[in-house]
Structure 1
């Protein structure tokens, strides 16, 4: 029936009621937030300027964090947490109180620790050309 189609890794549609959280900035890193009007970008760089982590926040009917990425050599240092807190606080500053996102299994653990809840599992398929 679905011959030739491939299933991507499972993902999770998650939601949260945003709450202001104190931002812990890990030693040796700098966090900046760039306002792009209908979106924001959070960047964590090393003291030498190398990008260590980043994430975006779309702002429409809801706040939508997206593309939250920590470079492999900087993982397990709280940078993803810092990105999410910065984006959530920025959304609150702009009047947003609810947010949704699509998470990988790995990301789901981070978001769950921040109070996000799985609304439904989500799968996508593709058909290679």
Structure 2
């Protein structure tokens, strides 16, 4: 498997571990993840935008999602008007080595909590509230960064970098040698600044 295909597989496996879903099921055009939520019942991760039309033609239930390795322009023609296309996203990766933590500015502190192979990092304000957070799931030699978020009241203080440094440090200590994530347009700039590389655009679409 090439590095791009491996990055997709790592992301799918780690995302399922992070979210506590059943293991992904390989499909001829990618993977299926049975998420089981009312508004996110099932997701299909498709490796080639040319498979969007054939796959979407057989999908009718609300709460069905597609995550396609391709741009919105490549995906749109294969979908009927029933599908809602989301904002662009990006599959990104980085190699992991020895990582050092970044100390948060005063008065913030870092809190790490682990459950098996899933590790949650929170940067807490002086009152104990969560100012920034993220999660990493370690699957074999790969780690998936997930649910990274900074509270709007605490932005522009470098807390996202603190969270990412702690997540990648923990992943490397647990044996991961590479990490992957899917970023929003806004998040992409932060991750590229931290040395991450875009592997593929990702287009999400769903049946509401």
TM-score bucket (shorter structure): over 0.9
> Which of residues 174, 180, 190 in structure 2 aligns to 1:100?
180
- 1:75-120 per-residue CA deviation (whole Å, 9 max, x = no partner) reads 1111111000001011111111101111101111111111000000
Query: Contact between 2:144 and 2:179, CA under 8 Å: does it hold in 1?
Result: yes
Following superposition, the deviation at residue 30 of structure 1 comes to 0.6
1:28 aligns with 2:107: yes
Following superposition, the deviation at residue 123 of structure 1 comes to 0.2
Partner of 1:46: 125
State the superposition RMSD in angstroms.
Answer: 1.2
Distance in 2 (CA, whole Å) between partners of 1:24 and 1:8 is 35
Normalising by structure 2, we get a TM-score of: 0.59
Unaligned runs of 5+ in 1: none
Give the ranges of 4+ consecutive aligned residues of structure 1 lying more than 2 Å apart after TM superposition: none
How many equivalent residue pairs? 128
Distance (Å, rounded) in 1 between the aligned partners of 2:203 and 2:197: 17
Q: Which structure has the greater CA radius of gyration?
A: 2
1:85 aligns with 2:85: no
Say which SS state the counterpart of residue 198 (structure 2) adopts: strand
TM-score calculated relative to the size of structure 1: 0.94
Gapped regions of structure 2 (runs ≥ 5): 1-78
Deviates more, 1:22-31 or 1:9-18: 22-31
Measure the CA separation in 2 of the matches of 1:50 and 1:33. 14
- For 1:91, what is the secondary structure of its paired residue? helix
